[in-house]
Amino acid sequence: MRAWPVVAIATIQALLLAAHWVLYHTWISFWWPLSPLALQAMQTALLLLSFSFITAALLGFRFGSRMVTLLYRIAAVWLGMLNYFFWAACLCWLVAFALAVLGLHADRPLIAVVFFSLALVTSLYGLVNARLIRIRRVSVQLPGLPASWRGRTALVVSDLHLGHVNGAGFSRRIAALAASLNPDVIIFPGDLFDGGKSDAVALAEPFRALAPPFGSYFSTGNHDEFGNAALYGMILTGAGIRVLANEKVTVDGLEIAGVSHGDSGQPIRLRATLKSLQLLPGRASILLNHVPNRLPIVEQAGISLQISGHTHGGQLFPYTWFTHRIFGKFTYGLQRFGALQVYTSSGAGTWGPPMRVGTSPEVALLTFE
């Protein structure tokens, strides 16, 4: 194994251990004294939980059994709850310190109950919100668009992360929703699969029933490439989805191209790939590019509209702030970069915690005008 995955795993695990220690130390400091038995039970539970997500994630890449899926789902839910319990713990100390500075009495058990209850309610909201998929309708004007495409629709289905958390039932929901919208073309700009060990054939099977008049198109995201991207491509092709791996197709006069995630992140390779597509000047074109970056290169290549995902809009507050610091206005929605337009979807699925707080899952129906 290369060094960087080991370093990354060790770093994440160290952060998880630290977060659990803060949680434990806060609870025993702010709550009533616990009995030795209760204290030992808490120590054991938090120690096991601190290793649960990394363990489940590593097992999930190797095994696809129901037991591993169950473990992964439990660990993923706890990871999301831990996030808000950790911030609740920090707020407990902050409020206690502020009251001490002001010379006021700090009712520590009450402070703990208030903030940890808010954390629990927020977590439960996030679990429910992540299942409520919105339909976002967006009008797009593209220079050089063939007259036949005016009024037609493209459904953007991004970041499903099909696997241990979002299983075949979720896939059937998305397929049914897509069919009900009756789009002219369907676009999957990456992370259709989560990358773990799963029955990819069963996960992709519901999409076989979709038959948009001008086809369905897919390009890989980073999670697709974490798994067996070649196998995923074969399965999706069998389900009637055209895989665009650094290639383009012309669909009734509209050029649709896709670039693989592994090539999109490197400027030299991306520039060479886009040049090899030989896009026709003055003709409208759409590029499936998972991450909304390297936009100067894409604009210079003459692309009219880039469709991306990846960001999830930040998925969970307060990480929405960090995502906006990285991607700016291209974190979400339809934005312009010079002559290039970029639509970034917040995605329909989730990665890690099956929660959304401060963002909403979506499929986007683009109408060409």
pLDDT tens for each residue of the chain, 369 residues long? 567 778 899 999 999 999 999 999 999 999 877 888 989 999 999 999 999 999 999 999 999 899 999 999 999 999 999 999 999 999 999 999 999 999 999 899 999 999 999 999 999 999 999 999 999 999 999 999 999 999 999 999 999 999 999 999 999 999 999 999 999 999 999 999 999 999 999 999 999 999 999 999 999 999 999 989 999 999 999 999 999 999 999 999 999 999 999 999 899 999 999 999 999 888 999 999 999 999 999 999 999 999 999 999 999 999 999 999 999 999 999 999 999 999 999 999 999 999 999 999 999 999 999
Query: What is the number of residues in the chain?
Result: 369
Beta strands 340-344 and 333-337 are: antiparallel
All structural domains of the chain with their residue ranges? 3-129, 135-368
Cβ-based neighbour number of residue 60 at 10 Å: 24
* SS3 track for the chain: CCHHHHHHHHHHHHHHHHHHHHHHHHHHHHCCCCCHHHHHHHHHHHHHHHHHHHHHHHHHHHCCCHHHHHHHHHHHHHHHHHHHHHHHHHHHHHHHHHHHHCCCCCCHHHHHHHHHHHHHHHHHHHHHHCCCCEEEEEEECCCCCCHHHCCCEEEECCCCCECCCECHHHHHHHHHHHHHHCCCEEEECCCCECCCCCCHHHHHHHHHHCCCCCCEEECCCHHHHHCCHHHHHHHHHHCCEEECCCEEEEECCEEEEECCHHHHCCHHHHHHHHHHCCCCCCCCEEEECCCCCCHHHHHHCCCCEEEECCCHHHCECCHHHHHHHHHHHHHCEEEEECCEEEEECCCCCCCCCCCCECCCCEEEEEEEC
Burial class (CB in 10 A: 0-12, 13-18, 19+), 247: middle
Place of tokens 């906006």: 324
pLDDT for the residue numbered 282 = 87
The whole-angstrom separation of Cα 57 and Cα 62 is 9
CATH architecture entry for 135-368: 4-Layer Sandwich (3.60)
pLDDT for the residue numbered 2 = 67
pLDDT for the residue numbered 307 = 98
- Which among 282, 358, 367, 294 has a CA at the least distance from the CA of 125? 358
Residue pair 95/106 in contact by the 8 Å Cβ criterion: yes
pLDDT for the residue numbered 325 = 96
Question: Measured in whole angstroms, how far is the alpha carbon of residue 310 from the centre of its chain?
Answer: 6
The whole-angstrom separation of Cα 194 and Cα 173 is 17
The whole-angstrom separation of Cα 68 and Cα 51 is 14
Which positions ≥6 away from 30 have C-beta within 8 Å?
Answer: 92, 96, 108, 109, 111, 112
